[in-house]
A and B are shown apart, each in its own frame.
Chain A
């Protein structure tokens, strides 16, 4: 039985305040962009859309976004699902450490991953140089460019979604279901096809959705590797850079429409909320591989795969010790130095992006947590009106590519009109943290809402019956019990902000330039070592935060 609100008026005021804030930050910018896309020089018209339709480039970019995303889903599934089955179902030497290692690409912020790929598989990367040396060729044997390169990066970083979701799904399937199937005479193939795959469907749909949305929003890979090939995210940024704001808005709207259609289509096909069978009992245990040959093969292949996975990280680490301009034609860099790291901390110019990223990411994270927590309390604990709207608005930024939100916020905060809630924040310190905050909201709110829903309401009642007022209950009982959820939300939000490139490239100023943009500019100046050092730093920070977060999550449960 849900406890009814004791002070519905204050609850309603809180709900209204949160709703207004969310509408202003989430819905309003998007509405504004849609509205503006229908105006040409201040007059309502369809001219922008006619222009959009007239240019085949626009269509090609939109089509490129769509098919790259679909292909990314297919590729990621093809890698991630078999891997998950392998690591969940079979026992072989190194299963546990490798099983954890396989999730590693998740630790690589998008731009860092792309840069690592560039250094590894690019024209002047290790792989190319190796081939040149072995076969005595003068030129790079390939060019890492276009759709194939983008797909390579996507598959590398996004199969993790399928891998993790499938493993979680498999773990949730009661072993007695599998045993019952065997007892009824079904072989393992039939069991997998008739029972396991249908039960995994919600997990697979979730992974497909996440992969589709991530690759539709992907910016770093197409930006660095796209060459002449455009997808809509890069198209939007370049159109805006060329000063054609109206066209950028039309493009933004078109990408949003594709994102929402994709979301709708995948959700429809999945039945995401279906129960995954009985939750009692245990997941099937991993079976040892019987045949000696298969066991050796699986072990060797898994270790090789792990090495391939680690290569980008290793490349980045190695290159971060290379002095600028010393690595020309050799297969391996001839000189090494720690100067790239030292200068990072000694030169204020270089330290600045690091500090910027740190304070902006932590500020945005803290604000997103606070807002999500307040919203969560209203949604879960009260019967105030507007709770559904609050929940929808919190989740909305997830369904919209980062580039879209960047453009939308730039539109909202590029004009001073306090009467309509618009202030000039572009070019100030506040625009980037604000953008990160909006992008963090789906992450933090998802964690906190499910955390709050999972709390036993009797804990709060017990505290009240022991004389604790609302604030003491919050501080001593609710928040400590929510610690795992808070840690999970905080970790993901912080790492997202720290590595952000998509929104930053649209909204940054010289004073607020984050690490990602410093990596980009080092790359442009061919200062490979500095770019790599920043990359390594970003990677280590992300990994450390993840480790800290999972420790927190684990300790409290």
Chain B
């Protein structure tokens, strides 16, 4: 396993709760990794282990081959942007940015130059003398970013960096931040509970649950090939339906859901007659006329979003499935049939991973 930043089998317990349960991750230099998970999943703990604020009970962290597992936060030279920024309120913006440079022994003209450069990087040139209380939320966020970047850390850690911003500001800041991190070319780990944020910022996204990495991959991988029902449900929208496996052969599994049988591409390896969890993306089903051969039901809810609408279909057997289609495709109360398209439906074992509501 290669990688500039590597986490190997990290374990961290707080009393009886296991916040990190054998976490292994690897990140190439200059790449951005997003840790995505619901609150309490342990993603912040992983970030704090990386920063050195917590010591792992087991496991190893290396940067460029150097073991920093036991290194103090001071010595590991990781930059961090805190969720509430943790700017020093008694220092002005320039002094905040200069703080980390002073730790490195940078002085005088050089200090002023690099402080100004860091502020320019976040578009805050000339803001040196501003008091923290005078800055807007977005400006504070950028000062925090400049402060973390100024000492040229080896790794940048971002803890929910956009959560304190207004929704309107958040999207713009997200784009700016991604460009900035790209431009600086710094290896970055970002923690977020918002899928959209993780997808927009991360080259790689690791889905975390109960202290474990459920899956790591590109946003496309996670959406297109979730490895379990939790990932399928947490990343993007998906309806969960129970079916039974009629037949399985390499790459294809035949699933019976109520009166319908679907052939789905899947790596199912267990014998037939097992129950399975079928996760269906809204765009994976087509609305057709109801018949005895297709899965049929009634439209019990319709949510209009503009270009398309989401229809909730309650089947004869009581399952609830969400389907996206043209807004005029059907009306509330219509009886419809459902036919699968060739992708967007994933089959998993029923036991174990319960899906959780995605965002």
A binding-site residues for B, Cβ under 8 Å: 1, 3-4, 6, 456, 458-459, 461-469, 472, 476-477, 480-481, 483, 556
Contacts and interface: CB of A to CB of B under 8 A. Distances in A.
A464 B52 contact: yes
Q: Which residue of A4, A6, A472 has the most chain B CB atoms within 10 A of its CB atom? A: A6
Given A459-B88, A461-B86, A556-B90, A467 B53 contact: no
Nearest to B89: A481
B90 A461 contact: no
Contacts of A472: 103
A462 B86 contact: yes
A480 B87 CA distance: 13
The 8 A-B residue pairs whose C-beta atoms are closest, nearest first, are: A467-B103, A466-B100, A458-B86, A464-B73, A462-B86, A465-B80, A480-B90, A458-B82
A358 to B, nearest CB: 29
Contacts of A469: 74, 103
Contacts of B151: 466-467
A459 B99 CA distance: 12
Contacts of A464: 52-53, 72-74
A464 B82 CA distance: 12
B148 interface: yes
B99 A466 contact: yes
Contacts of B103: 466-469, 472
A3 B53 contact: yes
Interface in B56-109: 72-74, 77-80, 82-84, 86-91, 99-100, 103-104
B54 interface: yes
Contacts of B231: none
Nearest to A470: B74
Contacts of A465: 51-52, 73, 78-80, 148, 157
Given A466-B103, A466-B151, A456 B55 contact: no
B147 interface: yes
Given A6-B55, A464-B72, A467-B74, A481 B79 contact: no
A473 to B, nearest CB: 9
A480 B104 CA distance: 21
A468 B54 CA distance: 17
Nearest to A479: B90
B146 to A, nearest CB: 12
A466 B89 CA distance: 16
Contacts of A461: 51, 53, 73, 80, 82, 86
A8 to B, nearest CB: 11
**Interface SS of chain A: helix, strand, loop or mixed?**
helix
A468 B100 CA distance: 7
Given A468-B74, A472-B103, A481-B88, A462 B82 contact: yes
Given A466-B151, A481-B89, A456 B100 contact: no
A511 B284 CA distance: 94
A125 B12 CA distance: 74
A477 B157 CA distance: 21
A183 B74 CA distance: 56
Nearest to A557: B89
13 contacts: A3-B53, A458-B84, A462-B88, A464-B53, A466-B79, A466-B148, A467-B74, A467-B103, A467-B104, A468-B99, A468-B103, A480-B90, A483-B90
Nearest to A467: B103
A557 to B, nearest CB: 9
Contact of A456 (B14, B80, B84): B84
A456 B74 contact: no
Nearest to A465: B80
A421 B106 CA distance: 50
Nearest to B105: A467
A462 B14 CA distance: 22
Given A1-B44, A461-B53, A462-B86, 20 more contacts: A3-B54, A4-B54, A456-B84, A456-B86, A458-B82, A459-B86, A459-B88, A461-B80, A462-B147, A465-B79, A465-B157, A466-B99, A466-B100, A466-B148, A467-B74, A467-B104, A468-B99, A468-B103, A472-B103, A480-B88
Nearest to B98: A466
Contacts of B90: 480-481, 483, 556
Contacts of A477: 88
A9 to B, nearest CB: 15
A465 B53 CA distance: 9
A466 B147 CA distance: 8
A464 B90 CA distance: 17
Q: Which residue of A461, A462, A465, A468 has the most chain B CB atoms within 10 A of its CB atom? A: A465
A458 B85 CA distance: 8
A408 to B, nearest CB: 40
A3 to B, nearest CB: 6
A461 B50 CA distance: 13
A467 B100 contact: yes
Q: Which residue of B14, B55, B89, B148 has the most chain A CB atoms within 10 A of its CB atom? A: B89
A373 B99 CA distance: 24
A4 B55 contact: yes
A461 B44 CA distance: 14
A521 to B, nearest CB: 46
Q: Which residue of A461, A477, A481, A483 has the most chain B CB atoms within 10 A of its CB atom? A: A461
A393 B205 CA distance: 52
B53 to A, nearest CB: 5
A554 to B, nearest CB: 13
Given A1-B14, A456-B84, A481-B90, A463 B53 contact: no
Given A467-B74, A476-B99, A462 B80 contact: yes
Contacts of A459: 86, 88
A480 B100 CA distance: 17
Nearest to A460: B86
A428 B110 CA distance: 55
A483 B104 CA distance: 26
A464 B78 CA distance: 10
Given A461-B51, A472-B103, A467 B77 contact: yes
Contacts of A1: 14, 44-45, 48
A3 B51 CA distance: 12
Interface string B8-52: 000000100000000000000000000000000000110010011
A476 B91 CA distance: 9
A480 B91 CA distance: 9
A465 B104 CA distance: 12
Interface in B175-231: none
Given A4-B54, A483-B90, A463 B80 contact: no
Contacts of B45: 1
Interface in B126-180: 147-148, 151, 157
Contacts of B157: 465
A463 B91 CA distance: 12
B211 to A, nearest CB: 14
B77 to A, nearest CB: 7
Nearest to A464: B73
B115 to A, nearest CB: 13
